[in-house]
Amino acid sequence: MIIKPVDSVDKYNKIRINTRTGTLFINPSAILYCKAEGNYTSICTGDKQHLCSMNLGKVGDMLPENGFVRLGRSLIINLEYINMLNRKENELTLARNEESVVLKIPRQHLKDLDNL
């Protein structure tokens, strides 16, 4: 697990994401989570999912050092949006405004989140 320290963030700093149809510029604070999809990465901004033509490691390197956590080999979450940990079901709920997403998390990574 990699924990990036929380620093002040420039709200206008966007990252460049290459997709199959072109280039997308996303504000990192809009990202709920990033999930590996083979050699691609699915970036969830809540209302939309964007398929990026880069692997999760490259996307993680582009994210600012402000509260993103990599959980295992296939998931990066934005700590700002953690709403609930369900240890019984091994689930993590990320929420922003009216949007919420429930992700299945391996048990060992739920324990890692307890140390935050």
Domain with 28 in it: what CATH number?
2.40.50.1020
User: Taking the model in full, what pTM does it have?
Assistant: 0.82
Instruction: Give the C-alpha separation, 11 to 16, whole Å.
Output: 15
On whether the CB atoms of residues 14 and 61 are closer than 8 A, the answer is no
Kindly report, residue by residue over 22-50, the tens digit of the pLDDT.
998 999 989 999 999 999 999 998 888 99
- In angstroms, the first-to-last Cα distance of the chain is 11
Kindly report, residue by residue over 96-115, the tens digit of the pLDDT.
888 889 999 888 887 777 76
The CA angle 49-30-42, to the nearest 5 degrees, is 25
In the chain, the number of structural domains is 1
The CA angle 113-11-7, to the nearest 5 degrees, is 45
| Domain that includes residue 100, residue range | 2-6+13-114
